[in-house]
Each structure stands twice: as C-alpha cells, then as structure tokens.
Structure 1
Amino acid sequence: MELIIVSASQRSPSQSAKVARYLSERVEGFSKVNHIELCQYNLPFWDGSADSKSADDSRWPLIAQQLRNADALVLITPEWGGMASPLMKNFLLMCDNQDTAHKPALLVAVVSGISGAYPIAELRMNALKNNKLVATPDHLIIRNVEEVLNHNDPDDERELHLRQRIDYSLHMLEQYSEALKAIRYRHQNQPFPKQQEYSYGM
C-alpha cells in the first residue's frame, strides 16, 4: 500500500514539514511513503476549471499521479488565524474525486501554541465534500510544535503520550486503508446506476 503525506505550510523550512518527516519515519503498514511539501511545487490557484491545474507548467499532473496510486493520505496544515492554510485548501479543491474518492485521510493540525482545533474542524466541515476523501475519526493536533518531535528519546511525559497517539493514529489509518479498498473496488466495478450524477456532495 502507498501513503501520501501532504504538508501545507507556505514557509520552508517549516514545522509542518518536520512533522511530516517524523510521521514518515513511524509508518509501518505502508510499503511506500511519499511526502509532498506543497510550498515546493508553486502550484497555480485553482479557478474552477480543469485547465487551471496545468497552467504555467504546473506540476499538478505529477501530484495527481501520486494521488491515483495512493491508498491513504495524511493532511498536515499549520493553523493560521484559526484556519487551515491556503495551500491546503487549494490542494483539496484541485483534487479530482477520480483520484481521491473513498481513500482515508488522517487530519493533522500544527500550531506553535495550545490551540489547533479550528483547522481540524474546518477541514472536517467543508474540505472533503467533492474530492470524497474519508477523514478517519481520529485526528492529531501537534501543539507547541517547536518543542516536540525533535529528539529520538524524549523524557517529557506529554511528548511520549503524543508519540504513542501518533503511532496509534497511523496504525488505524492503515486499517481504514485496507477496509476501504473493497469499497473502491466495488465503486469502480459494480457502480451504482447513474453513479456519475452523484460525483459531487450535497
């Protein structure tokens, strides 16, 4: 199985990318892990037309191919003003449901302080309607991110608990990935009558 980890900070280097690297090292149930750091791709902002995805020699086709091959995603966004980053929102708007539908996604918020719940709520509420990604029930909020996931052997009890939760969340993402394979297979090979009429959520 293949996993895509998307980090959506508009800065480089970033704490979001640091978290992505840590998660990629902890993954056990996926045979291949790709990290897409969105700020490195200079993607165009989607204007509602398919043509905009490939404008100005966009590298979106490369990302789209990775999404097609993926069995699951991890979506990492910093919290900016209580919101998910513009890069993450643009990425999710550009995702074609033919590439992402019925694939599980672990949502991760990264914040320098003690908040971080708002981006998760935002993504759960309105970011998955048309791309038809399936957010897992568990999510991660990496609070005080500058202070955690920096060393191999932390002695802080809260960080140890965070690392254990990360391992659990990645384990569950693998379980959802295996389970949703059957749904994707039936969706493609035993389609609902006039299935194409329901490509967008209500």
Structure 2
Amino acid sequence: MRLLIVSGSQRTQSQSAKVAQYLVEKAKNYKEINHLELCRYNIPFWDGEQDSQLDPSSGWPLISQKVSRADALILITPEWGGMASPLLKNFLLMCDKQETAHKPALLVSVVSGISGAYPIAELRMNSLKNNKIVAVPDHLIIRNVKEVLNQCDKGDAQLTQREIHLRERIDYSLHMLHQYSAALQAIRIQHQSQPYPKQQEYSYGM
C-alpha cells in the first residue's frame, strides 16, 4: 500500500506541513509514504482545460505521478476564513478521476484556534464529486495546532491529556484508512476488469 499525504497550506514552514510530518512518522502500515507540500510546486490555476496541466513550467506532471501511484491519500488543509485553502481546492480540481477514482482519503483540518469544522464540511460537500475520491467517515481536526504534535524529547510525560487523546485518535484514523485502502484497492481492480456497460457516460458525479 502506498500513501500520499498532501499538505495544502500556501505558506512554507506551515503548521499543515508539521502535521503532515507527524503523520508520516505514525503511518507505519504503508510500504511507501510520500509527503506532497503543494506550496513548493508550480501548479497552474485550474481553468477547465486539460492543456493547462501540460504547461512547460507546470509541476503538475510530477504531482500527477505521485497521485496516480498512491493507494490512499491524506488531505490536510488550514482553515482560512472558515474555508479550505485555495491551493488544496485547486489541486482537487486538477486531479483527474483516472488518478484518484475510488481511492480513500482522510480529511484533516488544521486551525490555530478552536474551530476547524468548516473546511471538513466544505471538502465533503463539493470537492470530491468529479475526481471520485472517497472520503472515509473519520476525519481529524487539529485545533490549537501550534501547541500540539510538536517534538517532545521526554515522551508522553510532557503531554497534556488532550494531546494524548488526539494522538490516539490519529493512530486510530490511520489504522482505519489503511483498512479502507486495502478494501478499495480490490474495488479498483474489479472496476477495471469488469467495467459497467457505457461506463464513460457516468464519468462525473451527479
């Protein structure tokens, strides 16, 4: 199983990237784990035309390879103004169903305060229809993110009870994502070997 973790902050040295790195270290069931920090790539603004992906200056071909190779994704977004980041939404618009269809995704919202639910709701509602990514029922909201998931040399003795529960929740969510990854891999194989008649007529969500 191959996992791709996508951090969608438009800032380098972001809290989203910090959370992504923690998840890289905790996702032990996957034989291959990649972290894709979107702000470090030149991604064209989606204009509805496939040609924009092939611009010579675009970093999309490399990103497309990483997405296609993955069996599961983790999508991390900061909450900006109650919304998911424009960079992550642009990424999801750029994704083609051939790269992402029927692959499970764990949604993660990162926020400096105590909110964080709106980006999850937004991604579930209107970001996964045409690329056919399957958001798993569980999600993570990392609140007060500057205070948690930091390096702790003395182990759990320095952690608050809240952070211990958060880390346990992360372990559980990664475990469940791995199970969905195994189950949906079988569906993708069957989908290719036994396609539905006139399958191309239903390429996009309703």
1:138 aligns to what SS in structure 2? strand
1:44 aligns to what SS in structure 2? coil
Q: Show structure 1 runs of 5+ residues with no match.
A: none
Match of 1:194 in 2: 198
Match of 1:72 in 2: 72
TM-score by length of 1: 0.98
1:139 aligns to what SS in structure 2? strand
Match of 2:124 in 1: 124
TM-score by length of 2: 0.97
Is this contact kept in 1: 2:42–2:60, CA < 8 A? no
Correspondences of 1:158-177 after superposition (within 5 Å) = 158-177=162-181
Question: 1:151 Cα deviation (Å)?
Answer: 2.5
User: Root-mean-square deviation (CA), in Å?
Assistant: 0.7
Q: Which amino acid aligns with 1:180?
A: L
**1:62-109 deviation line (CA, Å, top 9, x unaligned):** 111111110000000000000000000000000000010000000000
Question: 1:9 Cα deviation (Å)?
Answer: 0.4
Whole-angstrom CA distance in 2 between matches of 1:155 and 1:194: 55
Match of 1:157 in 2: 161
Match of 1:4 in 2: 4
Correspondences of 1:90-169 after superposition (within 5 Å) = 90-152=90-152, 153=155, 154-169=158-173
Q: Which amino acid aligns with 1:40?
A: R
Is this contact kept in 1: 2:42–2:57, CA < 8 A? no
Question: 1:155 Cα deviation (Å)?
Answer: 2.2
Whole-angstrom CA distance in 1 between matches of 2:80 and 2:4: 23
Question: 1:27 Cα deviation (Å)?
Answer: 0.4
**Sequence identity percentage:** 72
2:36 aligns to what SS in structure 1? strand
Match of 2:43 in 1: 43
Give the count of matched residue pairs: 202
Q: Show structure 2 runs of 5+ residues with no match.
A: none
Question: 1:56 Cα deviation (Å)?
Answer: 4.3
